[in-house]
Amino acid sequence: MKQWLKQPYHGYLRNRDLREETEITEVGPGTGGGEYLRRTWQPVALSEEVKDLPVLVKLLGEELVLFRTLKGTVGLVEKHCSHRGASLEFGVTTNDGIRCCYHGWHFAPDGTILETPNSPKNTNRTKFCHGAYPLHEFKGIIFTYMGPPDTVPDFPLLDTYDDYHDEDSQLVPYSLHYPCNWLQIAENTQDPVHSCFLHTSISGAQFDESWGVIPVLDWIKTPLGMMNVNVRRWKDNVWLRTTETILPNYNQAGAFWEQPNDEKAFQRVATTRFFRPIDDTHTQVMGWRFFNDSVDPDGKGDATEVGKDKMDAVGQLDDRDRESQQREPGDYEAIVSQGPVAIHERETWVDTDRGVGMMRKLVRDGIRAVRDGEPFTSLPAAVPGVVPTFTQDSVIKRPPLDGLDDDKVIQEYGKQYAQIVIESAKANPEDRRAYLQEQLDSLYIDKL
Ligand code: FES
Ligand SMILES: [Fe+2]
């Protein structure tokens, strides 16, 4: 229970019996959270991690072996061999599957038992399978679906991926290790005010000076989950930015080094990422960094610094000594130091934490819906195969007006912008930029 210490120097009286909110933080097989997360495609590993040797991986609390056959097909199977349990991590990859090191049982990527050479005439092997999960390899990342086999969802093709967007981007896959629960990492993305402090006034401008202006904030639901809308006055411009959560654990974020000096209608993402739970207290942040002239016109990013345990921005992983972490903390230090699983009973919320509350409620509701047998409804596709998404930046020139409270004007711009962004997703993909431009051209607030 939340407890208030009402006097100075009263630390002794602190209630130590604070509990984790396990309903929304557990990820293991059979837990509510684990079942919920198993309704969607999750990244397993970077393609580059799976060469000739099998790889032991852990995902959603389950240990598995990931391998690539000599013909190039990837497989994800239970760690312990169906014969007598040796780990297939020590198996040998073959043309068609993986062979256990102990007595040579041979498994196909889909779990079919191809041979039992220590008992060649045994036909029982055709009557059962080894446990396996389907995979989809996409742009340098291997994804799996670990949910009920009769309801495999389409692999989500987001409209920000280069194939579906009117801008050429280089997508560079990456994977970063965080020793904490996935939910607190996801919450960071719906807490945009931290950019003003952690990324600007506390640690120096880790991104751009413009991040230091405290934005007017709002959070609204989208057909995929939720987004925050943050709006800032920047000189004569109004900078409007949305950052989305795609339930359960996907996120898209805009330019890291945004400079809202030039007008723009529809600038898209600098990263699409997945907070991939290893277990309750460890997470892999995986996804792609997008490189193109729009999100990084000054070339501040560096694709060669993005990859396995690498990121071209400070404070995103455990790659510095303690003193540097203390002198210039980043997201990694703030998030991991909340604890292996952030204790919600310890928190003291203010109005700018509303997005965290909304995200927890959406996750809680989703977990309960799955538990009650309802279908998972995120990631609907409006046009075949491609999912319209909601992360974007716009900048419009609207100088402050005499006689009007500019904070209220900014707030109103944010409200109207949120609706424009939601509506724009209904346009044909090829018309969306023009639709936004038209809507923004006529977005002019001169009275309240
Ligand atoms: S334990 Fe794998 S073949 Fe015997
Ligand atoms: Fe951050």
Proportion of the chain above pLDDT 70, given as a percent: 99
Predicted confidence at residue 213, as pLDDT, reads 82
Distances (CA, A) of 280 to 17, 66, 160, 313: 20, 21, 30, 26
Residue 382 has pLDDT above 70, yes or no: no
Closest by CA position to 69, among listed 104, 44, 94, 91: 94
Say yes or no: do domains 42-144 and 157-441 share a fold: no
CA 111 – ligand 2 centroid, Å: 41
Between strands 157-158 and 386-387, the pairing is: parallel
For residue 82, give the ligand 1 atom closest to its CA: 2
pLDDT digits (tens, 9 = 90+) for 140-165: 999 999 999 998 999 999 999 987 87
Residue 217 has pLDDT above 90, yes or no: yes
Closest by CA position to 315, among listed 208, 176, 172, 141: 176
* Cβ pair 140, 43 in contact under 8 A: no
CA-to-CA distance for 245 and 252, rounded, in angstroms?
A: 7
Residue 432 has pLDDT above 80, yes or no: yes
Q: For the domain 157-441, what is the CATH code? A: 3.90.380.10
Mean pLDDT of 229-244: 96
Mean pLDDT of 300-326: 97
Q: Where are the domains of the chain?
A: 42-144, 157-441
Q: Which CATH class is domain 42-144?
A: mainly beta
Mean pLDDT of 411-440: 95
Mean pLDDT of 384-398: 93
- Tally: H helices and E strands in the chain: 9, 22
406: helix, strand or coil: helix
Predicted confidence at residue 214, as pLDDT, reads 86
CA 316 – ligand 2 centroid, Å: 8
pLDDT digits (tens, 9 = 90+) for 68-92: 999 999 999 999 999 999 999 999 9
From 79, 80, 87, 102, the mutation candidate for ligand 1 (largest count of ligand atoms within 8 A of CB) is 102
Residue 302's Cα: distance from chain center in Å? 21
Predicted confidence at residue 381, as pLDDT, reads 63
Neighbours of 418 (CB within 10 A): 21
Confidence of residue 204 (pLDDT cuts 50, 70, 90): confident
Mean pLDDT of 175-203: 95
pLDDT digits (tens, 9 = 90+) for 26-44: 999 999 999 999 999 999 9
Distances (CA, A) of 196 to 110, 207, 230, 359: 48, 10, 12, 21
* Cβ pair 249, 258 in contact under 8 A: no
Burial of residue 407, with CB atoms counted within 10 A of its CB: 0-12 exposed, 13-18 middle, 19 or more buried: exposed
Would you give the DSSP letter of residue 124? G
From 84, 113, 114, 115, the mutation candidate for ligand 1 (largest count of ligand atoms within 8 A of CB) is 84
Helices 432-441 + 406-424 axis angle, to 10? 150
User: Over the chain, what is the mean pLDDT?
Assistant: 94
CA 101 – ligand 1 centroid, Å: 7
Predicted confidence at residue 116, as pLDDT, reads 97
Given the structure tokens 């930046």, which residue do they identify? 393
Distances (CA, A) of 58 to 89, 119, 132: 12, 31, 14
Mean pLDDT of 300-311: 97
CA-to-CA distance for 43 and 323, rounded, in angstroms?
A: 33
Residue of the nearest CA to atom 1 in ligand 1? Answer: 84
